Structure 1
Amino acid sequence: MTQALEDLLDLLDLERIERDIFRGRSRSAVVPRVFGGQVAAQALVAAGRTVPEDRFAHSLHAYFLRAGDPDAPIVYTVDRIRDGRSFTTRRVVAVQHGQPIFHLSASFQTYEEGMDHQAAMPAAPDPETLPTAAQTLPAHLDGRVDPGILERLLQTREAVDLRYVDAPPFASVGEPREPRSQVWFRTNGKLDGAIDEPLLHVCLATYVSDMTLLDSVLLAHGRGGWVTGDVVGASLDHAMWFHRPFRADEWLLYDQESPSASGGRGLGQARIHTRDGRLAITVIQEGVVRVPRSD
């Protein structure tokens, strides 16, 4: 396990300060706000720690309300909405400086047999044949962005081995492309021992899911996003459905597309498949996607 992955796992190991109240820290941010995937993952950790061990997370729905302060702790308050025979529902509010910055509802279910079908996995090259983010990012951004931004961007990728199937949006500014993108990802190290639990794999996938989902919006317009400064953006809401068991330390294909952008907002939707073709997760996110004014 890499030190970066250990640091990420430590970030997700919230401090319990009351029965249903938890406190989390933040890591250095690329932009002056807390990374949305971190807040979502931490909120899901908080919810999961109030749920019986025999129930697994099957969905989450969240809203990003305010930009988080990376220099201040985040307090997560869990509301035990319902404990049914098969399903458990939790609501989590993340607070900083006395104000809510994030709201999440999550549902957990006991395992049961049922009907089973899925969409086919799309074609994609083997992840081992693709360059790592540590190779891709400098190749396209060195000399084009502030060195500090590139360094912090690389730091956010150290815990996760993320590999672009095609060139990312910041590599093809001014060249509109089909609004679809693919990345392979897995943690940079194996999860085992006491930390190897289903909830942690789900929370790690939640963390990664906010990294690239709106890339397909940018591709449709030949924009590089906040990295190149030609778009101002932020996540608005985020929803995930966890269909089948998976491991975050094994390769997952994140197949993303954007069906619409309008009114200063862009929509991304995606499916995440395991390497052997099982549909593990469906993700939908809407975000602010604004072109900065020139005047």
Structure 2
Amino acid sequence: MSVFTELSRADIESLLCHYDLGAYRDHQGISAGTENTNFFVDTDQNRFVLTLFEKHAPEELPFFLALGEHLHDDRCAVPQPFRTRDGDFLISVKNKPAVLFECVQGRHEQPTPAHARILAEALADIHRSTARFDGRRPHSHGIDWIERTARELTAGLPDEDRRLLDEALDCLAGIDRSLPRGVIHADLFHDNALFEGDHLAGIIDWYFAGQDLYALDIAVCLIDWCLGEDGGVDLDRCADFVAHYHSHRALKVAEITAIPALTVQAATRFWLSRALAVRDNPPQDGVTIKDPDAMKTLTRQSLERRTEFGRILKNS
């Protein structure tokens, strides 16, 4: 279980005193998550999710919480972060910043084409909304991070991996960075979306969000929501995703043209971040470190098929 900080009933009752959300009934740890501690908190009014931030400093968090409030108020499928009676998002629990969120009813689903279409349209609506959001924060894992991390890791890579990484970096160097941009989720894999059947109940975990190319957010989704039975990217499903996104936020031709190369960027980013996690984190019971090899394979496939992918997008 990914509960790094245990809380007692007295701890929960103490924090509930800051809200008008009802009296304590129960709480239990949530097993999902690798960085933060999460609890279900039940009161006589409703069920909520309490998040304790194990790594983020308090000054980092207001951007993400204001973004969540903006998106929720704009009727996007994003859980509401609750403010205290004093109007604050953050409270301190055991010397760690914490927030109470709306508990979204739903579960993580293995993506079907129907789920992907729904998500694509929701993502377009989110991008239209973030264009009206005043908060500013660079995307923490954008192209600069990739180039810096590649230099850090390259000496320890096998020759074949080093050649693959060099090829990916050459591809990324050709991407037009003047494309439309705004705040993106940047980590919208299917385990960050909750569904009730075919209804998208909520998009969660916005802690990589920042300003970058909107088309990059699409590319991140493609390498998880549009996989075929062999585990590789299904280009026809990708084209379908892009078409449904386009129906809610019209893409410029230059954005569509850039998506194949941005798919390489997305796969490379997760290959490198997972490789760093494996290198820097000893195994811990109940904490899963995702395999970087899956994203390395997707990086190679995205490079090999980007011309074909571009042709499919152009003709779709």
What band does the TM-score fall into relative to the shorter chain?
A: under 0.3
Q: More helix per residue: 1 or 2?
A: 2
Q: More strand per residue: 1 or 2?
A: 1
TM norm structure 2: 0.26
* Structure whose CA Rg is larger: 2
TM norm structure 1: 0.27
